[in-house]
């Protein structure tokens, strides 16, 4: 592709909640890249652009001709326009046909499963990297696991057989995140969503899947020194890590699981039990249409989200423990200040897009990939340079 395209990077969905944050981030970090904002309303795009030195591309998510033109102009497309099952399929198809790299922030694993079925083979042949799940879903889990797998092999000559992660986070919810979840449920895709190996290539799921099931009960984990329980993003993140394990050959016996961390003592034990019970009850309630409609009315609308102050006051910390085939243990951590679903997600996806737009890690193959498979160590280096804790690095 080289520099033959008119634009290095196009941000699609620039007028949405995360899209507006991405505009501000790219304005500070895009440097000399030629980039543009894209969406269906020229007036709204002009309002968001303000004094930012970026172009404008008008394209509706359902206008295949406009999306084809957009993709043919750009070397990389970054999309924040969800629900992606409603607004992303034609854009991805246009990028695959044009040989344009693509990143987004989806956590809609049934939709990603469809992308793999439709586009992986052609993207792999053409060397086009299609990289969904480049937000807080699912970079800490996926990149963190890959870095530990690499470190065990590089430092100790051991294959990794197990990685587990424990999350602590503080932040708010934006309307687009909930809209994506509700769309998955409305489309009747919950059985697919609950498949532990939904994103794996054919023939790579183990015969015995039971040890890979999503956890439903709390327990005390000695490695983390804390009570842990089910993490609400686990059914997304674990599928992404397992796809990486298959694509990058972590080994047939590799196991990954993740949890929400509560702390030590009786109070933490009680909180973990209550949260686990609440998560089960919530999943049950959201399986009913009236409960989903109530949640939709009570939550922020798409395009809305937490205040700037609340986002700045948020944080996340993903601690990981890896075990090698000879029992060697290594620890890792990915963490940052700022609301994970908004501030961190913006940093994750923008740095992924900037890495691709700047020609980073060109040796990697194409396909519908995970963040680890598409971006590798260069991505961790960019994130650390952007102020994020990324350990280990340079594995």
Q: Is 20 helix (H, G, I), strand (E, B) or coil?
A: helix
Q: Is the pLDDT of residue 288 over 60?
A: no
- Does this model's pTM top 0.85? yes
Q: How many domains does the chain have?
A: 2
Distance separating alpha carbons of residues 131 and 369, to the nearest angstrom: 5
**Cβ(147)–Cβ(330) below 8 Å:** no
Tokens found for residue 104: 């987004």
Distance separating alpha carbons of residues 372 and 370, to the nearest angstrom: 5
Q: Is residue 318 part of a domain?
A: yes
pLDDT of residue 395: 45
CA distances (Å), 47 to each of 59, 67, 307, in order? 16, 22, 19
Tokens found for residue 101: 């790299």
Q: Same domain, yes or no, for 107 and 87? A: yes
For 208, phi and psi rounded to 5 degrees? -100, 105
Which of 83, 164, 85, 96 is closest to 127 using CA atoms?
96
User: Which element (helix H / strand E) includes 18?
Assistant: helix 17-29
Q: Is residue 70 part of a domain?
A: yes
Q: Same domain, yes or no, for 321 and 221? A: yes
For the segment 340-367, what is each residue's pLDDT rounded down to a tens digit?
Answer: 989 999 999 999 999 999 987 666 799 9
Q: Same domain, yes or no, for 151 and 173? A: yes
Q: Is the pLDDT of residue 295 over 60?
A: no
Distance separating alpha carbons of residues 88 and 324, to the nearest angstrom: 39
Q: Same domain, yes or no, for 224 and 127? A: no
Q: Same domain, yes or no, for 98 and 247? A: no
Q: Same domain, yes or no, for 332 and 348? A: no
Q: Is residue 1 part of a domain?
A: no
For the segment 198-239, what is each residue's pLDDT rounded down to a tens digit?
Answer: 999 999 999 888 889 999 999 999 999 999 999 989 999 999
Q: Same domain, yes or no, for 114 and 177? A: no
Distance separating alpha carbons of residues 15 and 57, to the nearest angstrom: 12
Residue 382 CA, distance from chain mean position: 16
Q: Same domain, yes or no, for 265 and 375? A: no
Domain assignment of residue 256, given as a range: 139-339
Q: Same domain, yes or no, for 297 and 171? A: yes
The contacts of residue 388 (CB under 8 Å, 6+ apart) are 334, 335, 336, 344, 347
């Amino acid at each position: 592709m080289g520099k033959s395209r008119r634009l290095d990077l196009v941000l699609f969905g620039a007028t949405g909640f995360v899209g507006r944050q991405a505009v501000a981030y790219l304005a500070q970090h895009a440097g000399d890249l030629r980039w543009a904002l894209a969406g269906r309303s020229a007036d709204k795009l002009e309002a968001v652009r303000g004094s930012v030195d970026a172009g404008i591309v008008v394209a509706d998510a359902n206008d295949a001709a406009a999306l084809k033109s957009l993709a043919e102009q750009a070397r990389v497309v970054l999309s924040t326009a969800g629900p992606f099952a409603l607004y992303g399929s034609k854009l991805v198809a246009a990028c695959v046909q044009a040989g344009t790299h693509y990143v987004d922030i989806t956590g809609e694993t049934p939709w990603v499963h469809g992308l793999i079925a439709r586009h992986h083979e052609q993207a792999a042949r053409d060397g086009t990297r299609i990289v969904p799940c480049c937000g807080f879903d699912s970079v800490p889990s996926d990149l963190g696991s890959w870095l530990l797998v690499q470190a065990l092999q590089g430092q100790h000559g051991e294959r990794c057989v197990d990685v587990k992660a424990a999350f602590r986070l503080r932040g708010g919810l934006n309307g687009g995140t909930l809209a994506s979840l509700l769309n998955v449920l409305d489309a009747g895709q919950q059985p697919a969503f609950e498949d532990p190996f939904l994103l794996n290539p054919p023939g790579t799921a183990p015969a015995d899947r039971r040890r890979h099931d999503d956890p439903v009960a709390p327990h005390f984990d000695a490695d983390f020194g804390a009570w842990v329980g089910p993490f609400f993003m686990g059914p997304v993140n674990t599928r992404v890590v397992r796809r990486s394990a298959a694509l990058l050959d972590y080994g047939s016996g590799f196991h990954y699981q993740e949890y929400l961390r509560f702390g030590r003592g009786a109070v933490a034990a009680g909180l973990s039990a209550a949260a686990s019970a609440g998560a089960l009850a919530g999943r049950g309630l959201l399986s009913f249409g009236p409960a989903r409609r109530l949640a939709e009315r009570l939550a922020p609308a798409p395009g809305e989200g937490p205040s700037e102050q609340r986002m700045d006051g948020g944080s996340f910390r993903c601690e990981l423990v890896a075990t090698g085939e000879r029992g060697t243990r290594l620890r890792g951590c990915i963490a940052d200040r700022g609301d994970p679903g908004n501030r961190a997600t913006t940093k994750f996806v923008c740095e992924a897009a900037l890495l691709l737009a700047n020609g980073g890690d060109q040796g990697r193959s194409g396909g519908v990939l995970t963040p680890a498979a598409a971006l590798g160590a260069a991505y961790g280096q960019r994130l650390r340079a952007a102020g994020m804790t990324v350990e280990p690095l340079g594995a």
